[in-house]
Structure 1
Amino acid sequence: MNPMLPAKLASITLLAALLVPAAVWAKSSDRNQPMTIDSTNSDCNFSDNGKCQFSGNVVITQGTLEIQADTADVIQKNGETERVIFTGKQARLKQQMDDNTWMNARADNMDYNVTSEVIVLTGNYNVESDRGTNAGQRMVYNTRTGAMQSGGDGTRVRTVIQPKNKAPAAQGEKK
Protein backbone atom coordinates (compact mmCIF):
# COMPACT_ATOMS: atom_id res chain seq x y z
CA MET A 1 0.00 0.00 0.00
CA ASN A 2 1.24 3.50 -0.83
CA PRO A 3 2.53 4.92 2.50
CA MET A 4 0.88 8.28 1.75
CA LEU A 5 -2.54 6.69 1.17
CA PRO A 6 -3.53 6.33 4.86
CA ALA A 7 -2.48 9.93 5.58
CA LYS A 8 -4.50 11.22 2.62
CA LEU A 9 -7.52 9.14 3.62
CA ALA A 10 -7.22 10.46 7.17
CA SER A 11 -7.23 14.04 5.96
CA ILE A 12 -10.19 13.42 3.71
CA THR A 13 -12.32 11.64 6.23
CA LEU A 14 -11.55 14.07 9.01
CA LEU A 15 -12.67 16.92 6.76
CA ALA A 16 -16.03 15.26 6.40
CA ALA A 17 -16.55 15.99 10.09
CA LEU A 18 -16.86 19.68 9.20
CA LEU A 19 -20.25 19.12 7.60
CA VAL A 20 -22.33 19.79 10.71
CA PRO A 21 -24.01 23.18 11.15
CA ALA A 22 -22.32 25.51 13.67
CA ALA A 23 -18.80 24.33 12.73
CA VAL A 24 -18.26 21.33 15.00
CA TRP A 25 -14.62 20.21 14.93
CA ALA A 26 -13.34 16.63 14.81
CA LYS A 27 -11.26 15.22 17.64
CA SER A 28 -7.87 16.76 16.87
CA SER A 29 -5.92 13.83 18.32
CA ASP A 30 -7.44 11.42 15.76
CA ARG A 31 -5.18 12.59 12.94
CA ASN A 32 -2.14 11.37 14.91
CA GLN A 33 -3.55 7.86 15.29
CA PRO A 34 -2.83 4.94 12.94
CA MET A 35 -5.48 4.29 10.29
CA THR A 36 -6.84 0.80 9.69
CA ILE A 37 -8.73 -0.15 6.52
CA ASP A 38 -10.58 -3.47 6.63
CA SER A 39 -12.44 -4.83 3.61
CA THR A 40 -13.32 -8.08 1.91
CA ASN A 41 -11.33 -7.08 -1.19
CA SER A 42 -8.77 -4.52 -2.28
CA ASP A 43 -7.74 -3.87 -5.87
CA CYS A 44 -4.96 -1.30 -6.11
CA ASN A 45 -2.93 0.21 -8.92
CA PHE A 46 -0.19 2.39 -7.41
CA SER A 47 0.79 4.10 -10.67
CA ASP A 48 0.82 7.91 -10.89
CA ASN A 49 -2.71 7.83 -12.32
CA GLY A 50 -4.01 4.74 -10.57
CA LYS A 51 -7.03 3.78 -8.54
CA CYS A 52 -7.36 1.76 -5.39
CA GLN A 53 -10.73 0.24 -4.60
CA PHE A 54 -11.65 -1.31 -1.28
CA SER A 55 -14.90 -3.26 -1.37
CA GLY A 56 -17.05 -5.51 0.74
CA ASN A 57 -17.94 -4.20 4.18
CA VAL A 58 -15.26 -1.49 4.19
CA VAL A 59 -14.48 -0.20 7.68
CA ILE A 60 -11.94 2.58 8.15
CA THR A 61 -10.95 3.54 11.69
CA GLN A 62 -8.56 6.16 13.03
CA GLY A 63 -8.87 7.11 16.68
CA THR A 64 -12.56 7.89 17.26
CA LEU A 65 -13.24 8.20 13.50
CA GLU A 66 -15.10 5.30 11.89
CA ILE A 67 -16.32 5.11 8.29
CA GLN A 68 -18.37 2.21 6.97
CA ALA A 69 -19.12 1.84 3.27
CA ASP A 70 -19.77 -0.78 0.64
CA THR A 71 -16.83 0.61 -1.37
CA ALA A 72 -14.08 3.20 -1.00
CA ASP A 73 -12.35 4.35 -4.21
CA VAL A 74 -9.09 6.30 -3.98
CA ILE A 75 -8.17 7.97 -7.27
CA GLN A 76 -4.63 9.20 -7.95
CA LYS A 77 -3.56 11.82 -10.51
CA ASN A 78 0.11 12.59 -11.13
CA GLY A 79 1.05 10.58 -8.05
CA GLU A 80 -1.24 12.52 -5.69
CA THR A 81 -4.61 11.52 -4.26
CA GLU A 82 -7.19 13.48 -6.27
CA ARG A 83 -10.51 12.05 -5.05
CA VAL A 84 -11.92 9.60 -2.53
CA ILE A 85 -15.43 8.25 -3.06
CA PHE A 86 -17.35 6.30 -0.42
CA THR A 87 -20.52 4.53 -1.56
CA GLY A 88 -23.09 2.29 0.07
CA LYS A 89 -26.68 2.01 1.19
CA GLN A 90 -25.61 3.99 3.18
CA ALA A 91 -22.02 5.05 3.70
CA ARG A 92 -21.68 6.12 7.34
CA LEU A 93 -19.21 8.29 9.17
CA LYS A 94 -19.02 8.90 12.91
CA GLN A 95 -16.47 10.73 15.00
CA GLN A 96 -16.11 12.18 18.46
CA MET A 97 -15.54 15.94 18.58
CA ASP A 98 -13.04 17.77 20.79
CA ASP A 99 -15.97 18.73 23.07
CA ASN A 100 -16.64 14.95 23.53
CA THR A 101 -19.93 15.05 21.59
CA TRP A 102 -20.42 12.85 18.52
CA MET A 103 -21.01 13.71 14.87
CA ASN A 104 -22.73 11.21 12.57
CA ALA A 105 -23.13 11.48 8.80
CA ARG A 106 -24.64 9.16 6.24
CA ALA A 107 -25.26 9.30 2.51
CA ASP A 108 -25.48 6.98 -0.45
CA ASN A 109 -22.35 8.67 -1.83
CA MET A 110 -19.61 10.77 -0.20
CA ASP A 111 -17.28 12.22 -2.88
CA TYR A 112 -14.28 14.24 -1.70
CA ASN A 113 -12.23 16.15 -4.29
CA VAL A 114 -8.84 16.67 -2.65
CA THR A 115 -7.71 19.25 -5.24
CA SER A 116 -10.69 21.58 -4.78
CA GLU A 117 -11.21 20.60 -1.12
CA VAL A 118 -14.93 20.08 -1.78
CA ILE A 119 -16.97 17.16 -0.47
CA VAL A 120 -20.35 16.29 -2.00
CA LEU A 121 -22.87 14.14 -0.13
CA THR A 122 -25.67 12.76 -2.30
CA GLY A 123 -28.55 10.39 -1.84
CA ASN A 124 -30.55 10.82 1.34
CA TYR A 125 -27.72 12.42 3.27
CA ASN A 126 -28.09 13.26 6.95
CA VAL A 127 -25.49 14.99 9.13
CA GLU A 128 -26.23 15.25 12.86
CA SER A 129 -24.56 16.36 16.05
CA ASP A 130 -25.68 17.76 19.40
CA ARG A 131 -25.57 21.20 17.77
CA GLY A 132 -27.92 20.41 14.89
CA THR A 133 -28.78 18.44 11.80
CA ASN A 134 -28.90 18.91 8.04
CA ALA A 135 -30.61 16.46 5.68
CA GLY A 136 -31.59 16.27 2.04
CA GLN A 137 -30.58 14.81 -1.29
CA ARG A 138 -27.42 16.82 -2.05
CA MET A 139 -24.95 18.86 -0.02
CA VAL A 140 -21.79 20.55 -1.31
CA TYR A 141 -19.28 21.59 1.35
CA ASN A 142 -16.08 23.52 0.72
CA THR A 143 -13.73 22.48 3.50
CA ARG A 144 -11.37 25.40 2.74
CA THR A 145 -13.94 28.21 2.98
CA GLY A 146 -16.63 26.59 5.15
CA ALA A 147 -19.29 27.36 2.50
CA MET A 148 -22.14 24.83 2.45
CA GLN A 149 -24.92 24.56 -0.11
CA SER A 150 -27.80 22.12 0.14
CA GLY A 151 -30.64 21.48 -2.28
CA GLY A 152 -31.00 23.41 -5.51
CA ASP A 153 -32.13 20.22 -7.19
CA GLY A 154 -35.87 20.65 -6.64
CA THR A 155 -35.90 18.68 -3.39
CA ARG A 156 -36.37 19.96 0.16
CA VAL A 157 -33.59 20.45 2.71
CA ARG A 158 -34.14 20.37 6.44
CA THR A 159 -31.78 22.09 8.88
CA VAL A 160 -32.32 22.04 12.64
CA ILE A 161 -30.06 24.18 14.84
CA GLN A 162 -30.16 23.42 18.55
CA PRO A 163 -30.07 26.28 21.09
CA LYS A 164 -26.54 27.03 22.30
CA ASN A 165 -27.37 26.34 25.95
CA LYS A 166 -29.89 23.54 25.66
CA ALA A 167 -30.63 22.59 29.28
CA PRO A 168 -32.53 19.46 30.33
CA ALA A 169 -35.91 20.00 31.99
CA ALA A 170 -35.64 20.24 35.79
CA GLN A 171 -36.95 17.28 37.73
CA GLY A 172 -40.70 17.52 38.18
CA GLU A 173 -41.09 20.10 35.36
CA LYS A 174 -43.53 19.35 32.60
CA LYS A 175 -42.01 19.09 29.14
Structure 2
Amino acid sequence: MQSIARTCRASAKAALFAVLGMALVASLPVVAKQSDRNEPVDVHSKSFDGSQQPAGKVIWTTNVILTQGTLKITGDKATGYLDADNNITRVVVDGKPATIHQLDEQNEPMDGQALNIDYKVDQDFAVLTGNAKVKQPAKGSAEGDKLTYNTKDSTMTGESNGAAPVHMTFQPKNKPAAAPATPAAPAPDTKKP
Protein backbone atom coordinates (compact mmCIF):
# COMPACT_ATOMS: atom_id res chain seq x y z
CA MET A 1 0.00 0.00 0.00
CA GLN A 2 1.39 3.40 -0.90
CA SER A 3 0.05 6.64 0.44
CA ILE A 4 0.65 10.04 -1.10
CA ALA A 5 -1.85 12.79 -0.35
CA ARG A 6 -2.94 14.43 -3.60
CA THR A 7 -5.51 16.90 -2.31
CA CYS A 8 -4.92 20.51 -1.40
CA ARG A 9 -7.38 20.50 1.48
CA ALA A 10 -5.41 20.71 4.74
CA SER A 11 -8.03 18.84 6.79
CA ALA A 12 -8.04 15.90 4.37
CA LYS A 13 -4.26 15.73 4.53
CA ALA A 14 -4.27 15.88 8.32
CA ALA A 15 -6.85 13.09 8.56
CA LEU A 16 -4.99 10.94 6.04
CA PHE A 17 -1.67 11.39 7.84
CA ALA A 18 -3.28 10.62 11.21
CA VAL A 19 -4.78 7.36 9.90
CA LEU A 20 -1.61 6.35 8.08
CA GLY A 21 0.52 7.33 11.05
CA MET A 22 -1.44 4.95 13.25
CA ALA A 23 -1.07 2.21 10.63
CA LEU A 24 2.66 2.91 10.49
CA VAL A 25 2.97 2.57 14.24
CA ALA A 26 1.26 -0.81 14.06
CA SER A 27 3.15 -2.12 11.06
CA LEU A 28 6.71 -0.90 11.50
CA PRO A 29 7.97 -2.01 14.90
CA VAL A 30 11.49 -0.79 15.46
CA VAL A 31 12.29 -2.40 18.79
CA ALA A 32 16.05 -2.24 19.03
CA LYS A 33 17.89 -5.29 20.26
CA GLN A 34 18.15 -4.60 23.98
CA SER A 35 21.23 -6.79 24.39
CA ASP A 36 23.19 -4.26 22.29
CA ARG A 37 23.37 -1.99 25.35
CA ASN A 38 25.56 -4.54 27.13
CA GLU A 39 28.13 -4.46 24.33
CA PRO A 40 31.11 -2.08 24.18
CA VAL A 41 30.87 1.02 22.01
CA ASP A 42 33.52 1.07 19.28
CA VAL A 43 34.20 4.24 17.25
CA HIS A 44 36.44 4.67 14.20
CA SER A 45 37.11 8.06 12.59
CA LYS A 46 39.86 10.12 10.99
CA SER A 47 40.11 12.34 14.07
CA PHE A 48 38.49 13.10 17.42
CA ASP A 49 38.48 15.90 19.96
CA GLY A 50 37.03 15.73 23.42
CA SER A 51 37.19 14.53 26.93
CA GLN A 52 36.14 11.25 28.46
CA GLN A 53 35.51 13.00 31.74
CA PRO A 54 32.14 12.56 33.48
CA ALA A 55 29.50 14.56 31.61
CA GLY A 56 32.03 15.08 28.81
CA LYS A 57 31.67 15.35 25.08
CA VAL A 58 33.63 13.78 22.20
CA ILE A 59 33.51 14.94 18.57
CA TRP A 60 34.58 12.48 15.88
CA THR A 61 35.13 13.69 12.31
CA THR A 62 35.59 12.15 8.86
CA ASN A 63 34.43 8.62 8.04
CA VAL A 64 32.84 8.05 11.45
CA ILE A 65 31.69 4.49 12.20
CA LEU A 66 30.15 3.82 15.61
CA THR A 67 29.15 0.26 16.52
CA GLN A 68 27.60 -1.36 19.58
CA GLY A 69 26.38 -4.92 19.14
CA THR A 70 24.12 -4.93 16.07
CA LEU A 71 23.90 -1.10 16.06
CA LYS A 72 25.99 0.66 13.42
CA ILE A 73 25.90 4.44 12.86
CA THR A 74 27.94 6.20 10.16
CA GLY A 75 28.43 9.81 9.16
CA ASP A 76 30.82 12.65 8.43
CA LYS A 77 30.74 14.02 11.99
CA ALA A 78 29.42 12.62 15.27
CA THR A 79 29.15 14.20 18.69
CA GLY A 80 28.90 11.83 21.64
CA TYR A 81 27.61 12.99 25.02
CA LEU A 82 28.74 11.12 28.13
CA ASP A 83 27.03 10.71 31.51
CA ALA A 84 28.66 10.74 34.95
CA ASP A 85 29.64 7.06 34.51
CA ASN A 86 31.34 7.79 31.16
CA ASN A 87 28.59 6.03 29.14
CA ILE A 88 27.39 7.50 25.85
CA THR A 89 23.85 8.78 26.40
CA ARG A 90 23.37 10.63 23.12
CA VAL A 91 24.96 10.68 19.67
CA VAL A 92 24.29 13.41 17.10
CA VAL A 93 25.50 12.42 13.61
CA ASP A 94 25.68 14.55 10.46
CA GLY A 95 26.34 13.14 7.01
CA LYS A 96 25.42 13.08 3.36
CA PRO A 97 23.70 10.91 4.48
CA ALA A 98 24.23 9.77 8.04
CA THR A 99 23.06 6.17 8.45
CA ILE A 100 21.82 3.91 11.21
CA HIS A 101 21.44 0.12 11.09
CA GLN A 102 20.24 -2.18 13.84
CA LEU A 103 18.59 -5.55 14.28
CA ASP A 104 15.39 -5.79 16.30
CA GLU A 105 14.52 -8.47 18.83
CA GLN A 106 13.39 -10.78 15.98
CA ASN A 107 16.75 -10.23 14.18
CA GLU A 108 15.03 -8.23 11.42
CA PRO A 109 17.10 -5.30 10.11
CA MET A 110 16.09 -1.64 10.38
CA ASP A 111 17.99 0.82 8.21
CA GLY A 112 17.66 4.58 8.41
CA GLN A 113 19.32 7.52 6.77
CA ALA A 114 19.06 11.31 6.98
CA LEU A 115 21.21 14.41 6.92
CA ASN A 116 21.11 14.40 10.74
CA ILE A 117 20.45 11.60 13.23
CA ASP A 118 19.98 12.52 16.89
CA TYR A 119 19.95 9.24 18.84
CA LYS A 120 19.12 9.75 22.51
CA VAL A 121 20.19 6.35 23.76
CA ASP A 122 19.17 6.95 27.37
CA GLN A 123 15.67 8.08 26.29
CA ASP A 124 15.12 5.27 23.74
CA PHE A 125 14.43 7.35 20.64
CA ALA A 126 16.10 8.66 17.52
CA VAL A 127 15.14 11.64 15.37
CA LEU A 128 16.12 11.52 11.70
CA THR A 129 15.94 14.94 10.04
CA GLY A 130 16.50 16.04 6.46
CA ASN A 131 15.48 13.64 3.70
CA ALA A 132 14.83 10.98 6.33
CA LYS A 133 14.17 7.36 5.37
CA VAL A 134 13.55 4.26 7.49
CA LYS A 135 13.30 0.81 5.89
CA GLN A 136 12.46 -2.60 7.29
CA PRO A 137 12.43 -5.13 4.43
CA ALA A 138 9.83 -7.39 6.06
CA LYS A 139 7.57 -4.53 7.22
CA GLY A 140 7.83 -1.52 4.91
CA SER A 141 9.35 1.94 4.75
CA ALA A 142 8.72 5.59 5.61
CA GLU A 143 10.13 8.81 4.19
CA GLY A 144 9.73 12.44 5.25
CA ASP A 145 11.50 15.56 6.41
CA LYS A 146 11.53 14.23 9.98
CA LEU A 147 11.01 10.72 11.32
CA THR A 148 11.06 9.97 15.05
CA TYR A 149 11.07 6.44 16.36
CA ASN A 150 11.06 5.04 19.85
CA THR A 151 13.35 2.03 20.10
CA LYS A 152 11.68 0.76 23.26
CA ASP A 153 7.94 0.78 22.54
CA SER A 154 7.88 0.56 18.72
CA THR A 155 6.12 3.89 18.10
CA MET A 156 7.01 6.05 15.13
CA THR A 157 5.94 9.45 13.83
CA GLY A 158 6.71 11.28 10.61
CA GLU A 159 6.21 14.77 9.31
CA SER A 160 6.88 16.83 6.24
CA ASN A 161 7.65 20.52 6.38
CA GLY A 162 7.94 21.09 2.64
CA ALA A 163 5.83 20.45 -0.42
CA ALA A 164 6.56 16.71 -0.49
CA PRO A 165 4.31 14.62 1.77
CA VAL A 166 5.32 11.87 4.13
CA HIS A 167 5.44 8.66 2.10
CA MET A 168 4.93 5.15 3.44
CA THR A 169 5.01 1.72 1.85
CA PHE A 170 3.59 -1.31 3.64
CA GLN A 171 4.74 -4.81 2.80
CA PRO A 172 2.01 -7.45 2.73
CA LYS A 173 2.13 -10.04 5.47
CA ASN A 174 3.37 -13.35 4.18
CA LYS A 175 0.60 -15.89 4.03
CA PRO A 176 1.42 -19.47 4.95
CA ALA A 177 2.25 -21.53 1.91
CA ALA A 178 -0.43 -23.96 0.80
CA ALA A 179 0.28 -27.59 1.58
CA PRO A 180 1.87 -29.31 -1.39
CA ALA A 181 -0.46 -31.47 -3.41
CA THR A 182 -0.25 -35.17 -2.66
CA PRO A 183 1.28 -36.90 -5.68
CA ALA A 184 -0.95 -39.42 -7.42
CA ALA A 185 -0.24 -43.07 -6.70
CA PRO A 186 1.69 -44.73 -9.51
CA ALA A 187 -0.45 -46.70 -11.94
CA PRO A 188 -0.21 -50.47 -11.54
CA ASP A 189 2.01 -52.21 -14.03
CA THR A 190 -0.33 -53.96 -16.45
CA LYS A 191 2.35 -55.49 -18.64
CA LYS A 192 2.86 -59.26 -18.29
CA PRO A 193 6.31 -60.68 -18.75
State the TM-score, normalizing by the size of structure 2.
0.63
Q: Is the contact made by 2:148 and 2:157 (CA closer than 8 Å) also made in structure 1? A: yes
Structure 1 unaligned spans of 5+: 1-18, 169-175
In structure 2, the CA distance between the partners of 1:61 and 1:152, relative to structure 1 (3 Å rule), is: closer
> How do residues 61-80 of structure 1 correspond to structure 2 at under 5 angstroms?
61-76=67-82
- Partner Cα separation in structure 1 for residue 91 and residue 147 of structure 2: 16
**1:12-67 CA-partner distances (Å, limit 9, x unpaired):** xxxxxxx9952143345434433321111111123445321111101122333322
Corresponding residue number in structure 2 for 1:141: 149
Corresponding residue number in structure 2 for 1:96: 103
- Partner Cα separation in structure 1 for residue 176 and residue 30 of structure 2: 19
1:103 CA displacement = 1.6
Corresponding residue number in structure 1 for 2:159: 151
RMSD between superposed Cα atoms in Å = 3.1
The one-letter amino acid paired with 1:103 is M
Structure 2 unaligned spans of 5+: 1-24, 178-193
Q: Which of residues 136, 140, 144 in structure 2 aligns to 1:132?
A: 140
Report sequence identity in percent.
36
> How do residues 18-97 of structure 1 correspond to structure 2 at under 5 angstroms?
21-76=27-82, 83-97=90-104
**1:106-148 CA-partner distances (Å, limit 9, x unpaired):** 1110113456544221011110012110111112334455443
The one-letter amino acid paired with 1:153 is N
- Partner Cα separation in structure 2 for residue 101 and residue 116 of structure 1: 22
Bigger strand share: 1
- Partner Cα separation in structure 1 for residue 61 and residue 120 of structure 2: 20
In structure 2, the CA distance between the partners of 1:32 and 1:166, relative to structure 1 (3 Å rule), is: farther
What count of residue pairs does the alignment treat as equivalent?
150
Q: Is the contact made by 1:67 and 1:93 (CA closer than 8 Å) also made in structure 2? A: yes
- Partner Cα separation in structure 2 for residue 100 and residue 76 of structure 1: 28
- Partner Cα separation in structure 2 for residue 32 and residue 118 of structure 1: 18
In structure 2, the CA distance between the partners of 1:115 and 1:65, relative to structure 1 (3 Å rule), is: closer
- Partner Cα separation in structure 2 for residue 100 and residue 144 of structure 1: 15
Which is greater in Rg? 2
